[in-house]
């Protein structure tokens, strides 16, 4: 992992990535963190969700890790409960390292139990976590609105229901490709950060 030398303080203000050209991205391969081979596909679909929402202002291009401004890694339970994002600099440009915890056993209680019984619910958690953390990578901050993908669980609310409302719209895994996890407010904030196609 090339990230260690590049990561800066995680408290830096969020800013948009350089989107004048397609944003170079990297998604890590399997690790020992509880992720499955198909989780990389969920991460790809999460990127495409943001790309569609931007209405042409954002495009992504897969590159080797060392060249990527947006990097997604799978991590074990030693990190935050669902995921996190840390900014870094690459050649004087802002980059973002996204960390997603794919193992749901450690979530405890009803979340872990439901994820064990329902594979699509487990995939929903991983997928929406990818969407949320990539949103931070793109420069979006937390919100207080339970409807938003950028909602912060620290404000409370029924976390199981947060994931269930999306799961109820998906009858099979492939449905994730056409069912956006973003609210209208998420999209509006994204287009404020990346306005080129809307000015």
Contacts (Cβ under 8 Å, ≥6 apart) of 19: 57, 58, 59, 194, 196
Q: For residue range 32-89, what is the model confidence (pLDDT) as tens digits?
A: 556 677 899 999 999 999 999 999 999 999 999 999 999 999 987 655 578 999 999 9
Q: How confident is the model at residue 132 (pLDDT cuts 50, 70, 90)?
A: very high
Contact between 84 and 46 under an 8 Å Cβ cutoff? The reply is: no
Angle between helices 109-117 and 119-138 (to 10 degrees): 120
Distance CA 69, CA 12 (A): 16
Residue by residue, DSSP assigns 36-79 as -TTHHHHHHHHHHHHHHHTTTS--EEE--GGG-SEEEEE--TTS
Euclidean distance between CA atoms 195 and 199, whole angstroms: 6
Instruction: Give the residue extent of every domain in the chain.
Output: 14-185
pLDDT at 199 over 60: no
For domain 14-185, which architecture applies? 3-Layer(aba) Sandwich (3.40)
Residue range 88-124, pLDDT digits in tens: 999 999 999 999 988 877 677 888 888 899 999 999 9
Q: How far apart are CA 116 and CA 108, in angstroms?
A: 11
pLDDT in tens, 133-147: 999 999 999 999 999
What's the pLDDT at 95?
96
Look at residue 131 in the predicted model and tell me its pLDDT. 97
Residue 108: other Cβ atoms inside 10 A: 10
β-strand 93-100 against 83-90: which pairing, if any?
Answer: antiparallel
Confidence of residue 4 (pLDDT cuts 50, 70, 90): very low
What value, to the nearest 5°, has the Cα angle with vertex 131 and ends 98 and 65?
35
Q: Is the pLDDT of residue 5 over 60?
A: no
CA 30 – CA 182 distance, rounded (Å): 27
pLDDT of residue 80: 56
pLDDT at residue 8 greater than cutoff 70: no
More confident residue, 37 or 160: 160
């Amino acid at each position: 992992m090339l990230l260690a030398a590049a990561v800066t303080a995680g408290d830096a203000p969020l800013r948009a990535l350089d989107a004048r050209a397609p944003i170079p991205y990297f998604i890590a391969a399997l690790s020992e963190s509880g992720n499955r081979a198909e989780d990389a596909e969920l991460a790809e679909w999460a990127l495409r969700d943001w790309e569609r929402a931007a209405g042409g202002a954002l495009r992504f291009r897969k590159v080797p890790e060392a060249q990527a401004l947006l990097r997604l890694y799978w991590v074990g339970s030693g990190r935050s409960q669902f995921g996190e994002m840390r900014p870094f600099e690459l050649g004087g440009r802002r980059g973002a390292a996204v960390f997603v915890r794919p193992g749901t056993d450690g979530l405890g209680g009803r979340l872990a139990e439901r994820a064990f019984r329902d594979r699509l619910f487990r995939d929903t958690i991983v997928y929406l976590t990818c969407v949320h953390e990539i949103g931070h990578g793109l420069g979006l901050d937390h919100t207080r609105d339970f409807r938003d993908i950028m909602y912060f669980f620290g404000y409370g609310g029924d976390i199981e229901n947060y994931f269930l409302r999306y799961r109820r719209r998906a009858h099979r895994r492939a449905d994730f490709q056409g069912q956006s996890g973003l609210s209208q407010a998420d999209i509006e904030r994204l287009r404020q950060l990346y306005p080129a196609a809307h000015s």
